[in-house]
């Protein structure tokens, strides 16, 4: 592993742990040349489908885009970074196992909203407001009404 500080290729693993429910290996490394420490993460790379955008363009699946969107939607909400990572991992796994060569971006957005709805309703409304391009307060009220109607009574 190349040292990010001095560029040397030789480093040794000082500590290693499983993270994200065992789907990621976290490693603390030390460069043999400059003795500085750095962290690496290893995860299984799934064969993911290409994403077909609304305008017809195709691009590789990017887990970072989903994670950034979730972080924005969950800003100042009681949702941990580990929970967000787990949601992205689950979505990535779902799309990889689907066997599809191509997935429509709207499908990704809908699946993200499904997960947010159970994770945090406020984050769900935030995400939906951007994803569905809410025009005014009425759109917010309509979406929140749907949430209230779908919520099981206790």
Three-class HEC string of 27-63: EEEEECCCCCEEEEEEECCCCCCEEECCCCCEEECCH
Locate the domains of the chain by residue range. 11-43, 50-150
Tokens of 119: 């994770």
- Per-residue model confidence as pLDDT tens digits over 115-151: 998 899 889 888 888 877 777 777 778 877 887 778 7
pLDDT at position 134? 75
The band of 46, judged by pLDDT with boundaries at 50, 70 and 90, is low
């Amino acid at each position: 592993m190349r040292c990010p500080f001095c560029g040397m290729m030789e480093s040794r693993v000082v500590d290693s742990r499983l993270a994200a429910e065992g789907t990621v290996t976290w490693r603390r490394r030390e460069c043999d040349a400059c003795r500085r420490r750095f962290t690496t993460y290893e995860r299984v790379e799934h064969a993911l489908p290409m994403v077909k955008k609304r305008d017809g363009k195709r691009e590789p699946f990017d887990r970072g885009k989903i994670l950034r969107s979730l972080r924005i939607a969950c800003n100042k909400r009681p949702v941990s970074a580990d929970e967000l990572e787990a949601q992205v991992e689950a979505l990535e796994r779902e799309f990889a196992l689907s066997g599809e060569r191509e997935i429509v971006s709207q499908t990704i957005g809908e699946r993200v909203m499904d997960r947010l709805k159970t994770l945090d309703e406020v984050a769900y409304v935030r995400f939906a407001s951007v994803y569905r391009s809410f025009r005014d307060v009425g759109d917010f009220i309509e979406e929140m009404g749907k949430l209230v109607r779908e919520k099981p009574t206790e």
